[in-house]
Amino acid sequence: MNERNITGQEKAQALEDLKPSADWTIVTFLTDFRMQVQGLHNKLALQWHLTSQQHLAANVCTLLAMFASLDAPVETLMNEWRERTGKTWPHMITASQVFNPHMGKGQNRPKANKLTLNNEKSFWLLEYLKAIGVWLAAAPRTVNNANLRKTYVLSPRKIALRHHKDIFRRFLNTLWNDTAIKMDIAAIKMDIAASLLYTQTLLDYAVGNNNLGLFQARQISKLVSGMSVATYQLLSANAYTMMSLAFLGLPNWMPRIQTREDVSVLQSILQEHYERIRAIDETYSEGYNLLRRYRDFVSSNDFETFYDFLADYSQFLMSALDRGHFYIRPFTETNLRRLIQMSQPKLSSILQSQGFQNIAEAIRRSTVIPQYIGRQQSQYDIRYGLGQELKRCSGPQKLDTKSRG
């Protein structure tokens, strides 16, 4: 077909046809020889295939029994599996750092019993579950120019598998590799993006499928608690090394999600936060500290941390506007009010107070507004550092007892 005759819709469809599968990042992750996991993954898949031909019942029953209770007798069940399968298959296998970021090679024996570096071992059926789980709930990503890999593993609580599969596939298509230059900062921004984008994807799915009942009038955290995050760094030419393991929460800001209006409000807030975070210049320490503070907030939903972030962001915004960087934008009054009212209802009376609103307007007229309309047209001088001054004054004040008469 002549390219000049292809319509816009046909071009869009052609690009969609060329789009790689949502799990292509899983393939590149497992086949990267520096992760040292491809052989183990294939070995687990092959052993499941071969043992299931004769011992499928033993495999399934053993797994169900292991997860039937928190105090299941794992050792006993392992031995029973060996007896049922005739002891012809290896039951212990190396615990890969990819499937077990919390485990690794180290000093695993008492000092008096040799100082040797041994790999940890694990029951092969448990490792097999982790291997196939990567295909269902893991989002491996790379940080460009930083020799850094991050793997996000979803932690669902109560969500149907059919919903999870569709939502997670869409999420994989939205979370792309970060292109920031600095390693740590790029990783922080990627963490924030993962949390915000997954929540947006979840909301879009519920609305698009007319399935708000998915939430059952509950918070997002009742469906998904967050993501475990493993960070790997390329410390040698042949292997990535696991550097840190953390947990990333989701923005659990709305007490109950019941209506399309609830979803629309939360989507608007999430989109605004995503845009503001993406615009932060992370090459300066100021931007680095802002990103770290915001990640702490979005992960923990601690609004004291958010208020500290806003105070610092105000200084960052004033500095950016003074340099003519108008792509750095303030958080809108509407969405800030919505966010505080739905997550901190005890502060609603303050936000509705006319006195508070007058003070807020006076602050805007002496900070942000003159930057946009020009100093010559403003009725007030620009007050640089006002945000930090107010932040200092908001802390506990000590009485000057010496000056008291």
pLDDT score, position 401: 43
Give the 3-state secondary structure of 228-256: EEEEEEECCCCCEEEEEEEEEECCCCCCC
Residue 4 has pLDDT above 80, yes or no: no
Confidence at residue 379, expressed as pLDDT on a 0 to 100 scale: 67
Residue 397 is classified by DSSP as P
Identity of the highest mean pLDDT range in 114-123, 187-196, 371-380: 187-196
Domain boundaries, the chain: 21-129, 302-393
- For residues 331 and 183, which has the higher predicted lDDT (pLDDT)? 331
- Cα–Cα distance for residue pair 341/218, rounded to 1 Å: 17
Among 51-60, 99-108, 148-157, 260-269, the minimum mean pLDDT is found in 99-108
Which tens digit of pLDDT belongs to each residue from 243-276? Answer: 889 999 999 998 888 889 999 999 999 999 999 9
pLDDT at residue 110, as a whole number? 55
92-95: long-range contacts, CB 8 A cutoff, minimum separation 24: 92/121, 92/122, 92/123, 92/124, 93/40, 93/43, 93/44, 93/121, 93/122, 93/123, 93/124, 93/127, 94/40, 94/119, 94/120, 94/121, 94/122, 95/119, 95/120, 95/121, 95/122, 95/127
- What would the pLDDT profile of 206-223 be if each residue is shown by its tens digit? 998 888 888 887 889 899
Burial class (CB in 10 A: 0-12, 13-18, 19+), 391: middle
Tally of CB atoms within 10 A around 158: 10
Query: Which residues are registered as beta bridge partners of 228?
Result: 153, 247
Q: What is the pLDDT of residues 64-79, one digit of tens each?
A: 999 999 999 999 999 9
Residue range 341-375, pLDDT digits in tens: 999 999 989 999 999 889 888 888 888 777 776 66
pLDDT > 70? residue 376: no
List, in sequence order, every beta strand (DSSP E) within 90-212: 92-94, 106-107, 117-118, 121-123, 138-143, 148-156
**Choice among 100-114, 185-199, 378-392 with the minimum mean pLDDT:** 100-114
Percentage of residues of the chain with pLDDT beyond 90: 50
What is the pLDDT at residue 367?
82
pLDDT tens digits, one per residue of 13-41: 777 777 777 788 899 999 999 999 999 99
Distance CA 16, CA 10 (A): 10
Distances (CA, A) of 221 to 141, 149, 155, 215, 225: 24, 26, 10, 10, 5
Pairwise CA distance, residues 225 & 155, whole Å = 6
Q: Name beta bridge partners: 229.
A: 152, 246
Sign of the CA dihedral running 47, 52, 58, 61? positive
Torsional sign, CA 243, 245, 246, 250? positive
Q: What is the pLDDT of residue 263?
A: 92
Spatial distance between the Cα atoms of 63 and 170, rounded to a whole number of angstroms: 30
Residue with the larger pLDDT of the pair 52 and 10 = 52
- Residue 322 above 90 pLDDT? no
pLDDT at residue number 378: 65
Evaluate whether 150 touches 38 at the Cβ level (below 8 Å).
no
